[in-house]
Amino acid sequence: MIALSIYLMIAAYLLGKLEDGPHSPQSVFICLAWLPAALIYLSALLADKTLGDHPER
């Protein structure tokens, strides 16, 4: 989770450093770089909800 947080912070920093505008090729690359991180986060969230501790069962 720490590595994911660092990855997202670096991507946000790079996105903030862009000077060409939001539709430049660099911003598209950074948005694509966010995609694996978002998928990892959502799959971990789903796994926690489905496989996590359920004391009522």
Instruction: Write down the pLDDT at residue 1.
Output: 64
Whether the full predicted model's pTM is greater than 0.75, yes or no, is no
Residue 30 in domain = yes
Residue 12 in domain = yes
Q: pLDDT tens-digit profile of 14-38?
A: 767 766 666 777 777 777 777 887 8
CA distance 38 to 32: 10
Residue 32 in domain = yes
| Domain with 9 in it | 2-50
Residue 33 in domain = yes
Domain count, the chain: 1
Residue 13 in domain = yes
Residue 55 in domain = no
CA distance 9 to 34: 10
CA distance 38 to 22: 19
